[in-house]
Every structure is written in structure tokens, then in C-alpha cells.
């Protein structure tokens, strides 16, 4: 059988092409972000005066966004039932003064990296709270990512 080596070669070639395709498919399947939210906490806020008059006020949430995946993601927006609007803010030094500003256009969360929201840096701004945030309280916060979609977390009021 002089043809056997030829069949063997074709067979091996077909096998390696199929293996190569499987590896490619595998790499494609792993090419996703893997987002987890950690260390979520809020500062206490009293929105009423002693006489019961409501003072419109803002609150703040700090957290860590961990991306253990192979691809980047982007935090697009946030919502919560405790306030009218949720914004992403960043505190910066401006002429020796601490200033905070809204971050527009979302926030990149690179593959394999952690983005920490902490005092003096990025924070979640709760605009016009509908109720006070009392220590020990928990409330829901939704974070919307470009690729991962919506992640719902609970923030605890208190210290980290
Ligand atoms: Cu702010």
C-alpha cells in the first residue's frame, strides 16, 4: 500500500487544522470581561433638620471594580432608588483646592485591572437623596457596563 503515507499526511493535516480552529474558538470564548464589585460602602447622610425640614442633599458611595477577564469593559451609568440621579465624579486638586467634577463618557475598566473608587479620587455621587442614609442601612445600586450589562449591588452605610 504505497498510498497510505499520503492518506496519513492528509489525515494529520485535517486533524491539526481542526485542532487549530478549536483553539481559536476557545480564545474567542475567553475574550470577555469578568467584572466584580467589592468593598461597597456609603457615608451616612442626614437629610432633615431638627425641625423636620428636608434639606436636599447628596450622598457618596465608594467601591472597587475588579476586571479578572481577558477584555476591557466600561462603566456607562448607574441608578439607585435612594436618589434622583447617580453620577460618576472625580475629586482633583485644582490650584491647591479639592474640586470634584462629573466624569462624562463612562469609565474604562481595563482587562486584568482593578479601579478603586475612594476618598480623594473617583466616587459615586448620589444626587438629591430621597431619604437619610443611616449607619447600618443597606440600599441597592445598579451599575451598567457596556459589555457585562447591569450589575446590582448593595451598599452599606458606615465606614469601610
Ligand atoms: Cu462628587
Structural domain boundaries of the chain? 1-30, 35-157
Q: In angstroms, what is the span from residue 66 Cα to ligand 1's centroid?
A: 21
Q: In angstroms, what is the span from residue 147 Cα to ligand 1's centroid?
A: 25
Class of domain 35-157: mainly beta
Query: Alpha-carbon Rg of the chain, whole angstroms?
Result: 25
Beta-bridge mates of residue 138: 156
Model confidence pLDDT, tens digit, residues 120-147: 999 999 999 999 999 999 999 999 999 9
Model confidence pLDDT, tens digit, residues 70-106: 999 999 999 999 999 999 999 998 888 999 999 999 9
Higher local confidence (pLDDT), 51 or 119: 119
Q: In angstroms, what is the span from residue 152 Cα to ligand 1's centroid?
A: 21
Q: In angstroms, what is the span from residue 28 Cα to ligand 1's centroid?
A: 38
Cα-based distances in Å from 14 to 21, 46, 49, 59, 98? 11, 70, 77, 62, 64
Once rounded to an integer, what is the mean pLDDT over residues 20-34? 68
Amino acid at each position: 500500500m504505497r498510498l497510505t503515507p499520503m492518506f496519513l499526511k492528509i489525515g494529520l493535516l485535517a486533524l491539526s487544522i481542526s485542532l487549530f480552529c478549536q483553539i481559536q474558538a476557545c480564545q474567542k470564548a475567553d475574550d470577555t470581561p469578568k467584572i466584580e464589585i467589592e468593598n461597597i460602602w456609603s457615608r451616612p447622610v442626614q437629610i432633615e433638620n431638627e425641625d423636620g425640614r428636608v434639606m436636599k442633599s447628596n450622598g457618596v458611595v465608594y467601591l472597587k471594580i475588579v476586571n479578572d477577564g481577558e477584555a476591557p469593559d466600561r462603566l456607562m451609568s448607574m441608578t439607585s432608588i435612594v436618589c434622583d440621579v447617580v453620577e460618576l465624579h472625580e475629586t482633583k486638586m485644582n490650584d491647591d483646592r479639592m474640586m470634584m467634577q462629573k466624569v462624562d463618557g463612562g469609565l474604562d475598566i481595563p482587562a486584568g485591572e482593578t479601579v478603586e473608587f475612594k476618598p480623594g479620587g473617583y466616587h459615586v455621587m448620589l444626587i438629591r437623596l430621597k431619604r437619610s442614609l443611616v449607619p447600618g442601612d443597606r440600599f441597592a445600586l445598579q451599575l451598567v457596563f457596556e459589555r457585562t450589562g447591569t450589575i446590582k449591588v448593595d451598599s452599606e452605610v458606615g465606614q469601610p
